[in-house]
A and B are shown apart, each in its own frame.
Chain A
Amino acid sequence: MVTDEAQLYTIEGISAALLMVITAYLILSSTSILTPGDTHISDMQLEQLGNDVLKMMDTAEEFDETGVTIYEKKQSYLEEELSKDLSNPNSFTTDFIDKFREYAGDDDKKVKVFLVTSYWDGSEIKTVGCWDASVAPPFTGRDHYVTVTRWVHLNDPAWPAWDPGHAKTVLLEVYLWRD
């Protein structure tokens, strides 16, 4: 027997149906499509990865008791490597890229690394790049890259050839991209 409870069932049914329709609309409209304008999301992740790796490379692995100065005692990988003679960029670049990959996670083979070091010689900015290094990936400038930078303090660099041993602060720029 149908009594006037039926009216209540009808109201409940209709309002539930309405809610379901609105829900379906909400779910469908929440799809977001990644357009080329949204590449900043993946850029940010690569940038953060690069910054984290550079931070690790610029942190001393251990406190070296045998060092004479505080600089030597807490010398980081970057400070040590960049202080070496950079006139032959091949060995430095190879080491750097290997180390970078090690910290970034060896599985990520797609990451390409290119580096440029800039310093101020008192009157102008000079750069030491890895353009001549055969191990560096071809850098066309058209690659979709992000730049991460790191200030590195060199207390006793073996370069440039005409003025070695002069303490300087250099800016290491690393270009990162994935193919």
Chain B
Amino acid sequence: MAFIISITIFFLALIANQSTLVGKTTAEAVLDFPKNDIQDLKHEILRIREVYATENPNDFNDAIQKIAIAKKSSILHYSIDTSDISLKTQIYFNNGITEYNEIYY
């Protein structure tokens, strides 16, 4: 009986031991991948796309590139193909650690 109880306690201890690592690794993983930056950029590009679908949606590329280099130390670039009926849109994101490409229609 003592044996069984001590094995149970041992496994419970193992769980407690591992659980302290969870918060740490999660925080590190979240910090490593610029999820919010990419989502924000995508939101902004989609906003420009819906507002300027028929005009020149690529006019803001310059501003975004310049500000991103200066303020975010990242390279951002987008292009919206207005000749394409589905407005093929490409975004490029690179902050030195994460490089990210996306194409959507």
Asked, given contacts A16-B2, A26-B13, A30-B17, whether A168 binds B36 with beta carbons under 8 Å apart, the answer is: no
Give the residue name and chain of the A residue nearest to B35 (CB): A51
Cβ-neighbour of A41 out of B16, B24, B39 (below 8 A): B24
In the complex the two chains form, is A30's CB within 8 Å of B20's CB?
yes
Which of A15, A44, A151 contacts B64 (CB under 8 A)?
Answer: A151
How far is A170 from B40 in the complex, measured between Cα atoms in Å? Answer: 12
CB distance from A50 to the nearest CB of B (A): 9
CA gap between A44 and B23 in the complex, in Å: 11
Across the interface, do B67 and A19 meet the contact criterion of CB distance under 8 Å? no
**A151 touching B36, Cβ below 8 Å:** no
Within the complex, which residue of A24, A43, A58 is in contact with B43, where a contact is CB–CB below 8 Å? Answer: A58
- Selecting from A81-89, A103-111, A118-126, A157-165, the interface stretch reads A118-126
Name B44's closest neighbour in chain A (CB-CB).
A151
Q: Which of A1-51 contact B (CB under 8 A)?
A: 12-13, 15-17, 19-20, 22-24, 26-27, 29-32, 38, 40-41, 43-44, 47-48, 51
B104 CB within 8 Å of chain A: no
Whether B17 lies near A27 (C-beta < 8 A) is: yes
Assembly CA distance A32 to B44 (angstroms): 41
If A16-B6, A19-B6, A19-B10 touch, whether A41 touches B27 (CB-CB below 8 Å) is yes
| Residues of chain A with a CB closer than 8 A to B7's CB | 19
The answer to whether B97 has its CB under 8 Å from any CB of chain A is no
- Bound-complex Cα distance A145 to B79 (A): 34
Chain A residue numbers with a CB within 8 Å of B41 are 151
Judge if A101 is at the interface, Cβ distance under 8 Å.
Answer: no
Bound-state Cα–Cα, A161 to B77, Å: 29
Of B2, B17, B31, B48, which is within 8 A of A153 by CB? Answer: B48
Given known contacts A19-B6, A40-B31, A44-B27, A149 and B17 CB-to-CB distance under 8 angstroms = no
A47 surroundings in chain B (CB, below 8 A) = 36
A173, B40: Cα distance in complex, Å: 13
A–B pairs, 14, beta carbons within 8 Å:
A12-B2, A19-B3, A20-B9, A29-B17, A30-B13, A41-B27, A48-B36, A119-B63, A120-B63, A125-B70, A151-B43, A153-B51, A168-B63, A169-B60
B positions within 8 Å CB-CB of A:
2-3, 5-7, 9-10, 13-14, 16-20, 23-24, 27-28, 30-31, 36-37, 39-41, 43-44, 47-48, 50-51, 59-60, 62-64, 66-68, 70-72
